[in-house]
Amino acid sequence: MAHKRPDVMKTLADARPPEFDPERLAGSERARHDLNTILAGAPEERTASRSARPFTWRWALPVAATAAAAGVLVATLPEGGSGTRDTRGSRATAGPTAGPATDGPRHTPESGRLALLNVAARVDRTADEGTYWQTTTRSSRIDVATAAESTFAVASSETSRWSFGVRPGTRSLWISGIDATTEPRTERDTARWRAAGSPKDLTLAESGSGGKLGLRLEPGARKRPTVERINGGDKIAALGARNVSYAELRKLPGDSPKLKEVLADLYEEDRGSEISGRTEWMWRQAAGLIGLPVRPEVRAAAYRVIADLPGIRSLGEMTDPLGRKGAGFALPATARPDYGTARSELIVDPATGALLSDQEVLTKPNAKAAEAGLTAGTVVNSTATVTSKWTDRQLKTP
């Protein structure tokens, strides 16, 4: 077959929509659930007979262009090596042997990964330490509420101050609800809320929850900040399903393949948690680590772990919710029951590697969200880090 023009099969292969990319379909909650269900139906573990033909399909997978990444990587995994204790986590725990396969699927714009690796290289390495690691965050969210058949959006914001006491006997505190506001998002939302009789306790549109548990809209009423102690003995933070001490946080590896391995193990332990999907989970944990009192190397490694997540992409220069400029990164969009589909984004200061904002942005509103005026691009949830520093003085409680 002679081809005068670019090979149509090649173009077609390049055009594969992400929905058909196995890399993106791996590790879903549903897949795990099905696996467990199927195996639970098993009588008991049957021991395989030693057949004349060794079980070699792992190496026999077709390694065509579209499958190269997964195929090559699998072939390089050492049988029974440290990273393969649990083969379900093998892709993420392959470590340095993974080679070019860690570049991920073809549709990944290389720029996303590279830009993040560069952020990792810029992370402030000043190895400061003090008695308290303190951060201030401003978080905002938008909820879609219904009242008297009217649907509208409610925006809430608050500032939190976190203080992690890292010396023996110190306390860790979380002060939340500072400068808290909850109000209809726009004038149109205000009008709809009033038309519904200005109810104080609101019901969330999708889940039907709310009321006492949910949203309280009382313009003018100032919410008082609340102070919570967040340490239990020497445990000061959560990592996956575990509470960890400062000593344990300090021990985290600053080498990204090793950190990935640690996170992969925690993921196995944390199955069935509310965050579904391995990629989102890894993203959440890695992004969370950046704000904790970990060594600067660990922060850099966390960015590298994020850089290697499948489907990561660069969004270029962006403005965070506090108006600061930074470089944006996103995961592919996934379904968010309350809104439609949305994607997780990070905005990072490319000069210092500081995490500016960790946010969820709507990519396609569902019917209720659209009715409430939310559109693709609406930031439905964000946490912007205002400051983070080591200090020797505990927070003053209001």
Partner 1 sequence: MTDAQRFRDLYEECHPRVLAYATGLVGRQVGEDITSETFTVAWRRMRDIPTPPLPWLLGVARNLTRELWRRDGRQYALAAQEAQRLITSGAQVEDVAAGVAERAVALQALAGLSAADRELLTLVAWHGLGPRQAARVLGCSTATFSVRLHRARRRLERAVEAAGPSHAPHDSRDPRNSRPKAESRKPKVTVKEH
Binding positions for partner 1, 143-172, rule CB under 8 A: none
Interface with partner 1, residue 200, by CB under 8 A:
no
For residues 77 and 90, the answer to whether their CB atoms sit within 8 Å is yes
Interface with partner 1, residue 75, by CB under 8 A:
no
Contacts of 252 (CB under 8 A, 6+ apart): 259, 262, 289, 294, 295, 298
**If residue 137 lies in a helix (H) or strand (E), which one and from where to where?**
strand 132-147
Choice between 17 and 197, CB closer to partner 1: 17
Q: Half-sphere exposure of residue 352, counting CA atoms within 13 Å on the CB side?
A: 9
Identify the residue among 55, 127, 274, 323 touching partner 1 (CB under 8 A).
Answer: 55
Site stretch for partner 1 (CB under 8 A), options 42-50, 151-159, 193-201, 207-215: 42-50
d(CA 338, CA 332): 18
Interface with partner 1, residue 377, by CB under 8 A:
no
Identify the residue among 130, 254, 288, 350 touching partner 1 (CB under 8 A).
Answer: 350
Interface with partner 1, residue 12, by CB under 8 A:
yes
Interface with partner 1, residue 40, by CB under 8 A:
no
Interface with partner 1, residue 52, by CB under 8 A:
no
- Letters for 107-146 (x = contact with partner 1 by CB under 8 A, - = none) are x-x-x--xx--xx-xx------------------------
DSSP string, 53-67: S---HHHHS---GGG
d(CA 184, CA 143): 9
CA dihedral 374, 314, 270, 239 (to 10 degrees): -100
Shortest distance, CB of residue 228 to partner 1, whole angstroms? 37
Mutual orientation of helices 256-269 and 278-290 as an angle, nearest 10°? 120
Choice between 36 and 397, CB closer to partner 1: 36
- Letters for 238-277 (x = contact with partner 1 by CB under 8 A, - = none) are ----------------------------------------
Interface with partner 1, residue 20, by CB under 8 A:
yes
Residue 50 per-residue DSSP state: -
Please tell me the total number of residues recorded for the chain in this structure: 398
Site stretch for partner 1 (CB under 8 A), options 190-198, 208-216, 242-250, 323-331: 323-331
Interface with partner 1, residue 317, by CB under 8 A:
yes
Taking CA atoms, 349 is separated from 4, 124, 251, 319, in Å, by: 48, 11, 26, 10
Q: Where are any strands of DSSP class E within 313-368?
A: 313-319, 325-330, 334-336, 340-348, 355-365
Residues binding partner 1 (CB under 8 A): 1, 6, 8-9, 11-27, 30-31, 34-35, 38-39, 41-42, 45-48, 53, 55-58, 60-67, 70, 74, 87-88, 90, 107, 109, 111, 114-115, 118-119, 121-122, 316-317, 325-327, 350
